[in-house]
Amino acid sequence: MVFPLAWSASRQAGLALASARATEARARPGSTRQHPQPLGRDAGARKTE
DSSP string, 1-49: -HHHHHHHHHHHHHHHHHHHHHHHHHHSTTHHHHS--HHHHHHHHHHH-
Each residue of 1-49: pLDDT tens digit?
A: 567 777 788 888 888 888 888 787 777 665 545 555 555 555 555 555 4
What's the confidence (pLDDT) of residue 9? 82
Q: What is the pLDDT of residue 49?
A: 45
Tell me what pLDDT residue 38 has: 56
Give the model's pLDDT for residue 42: 56
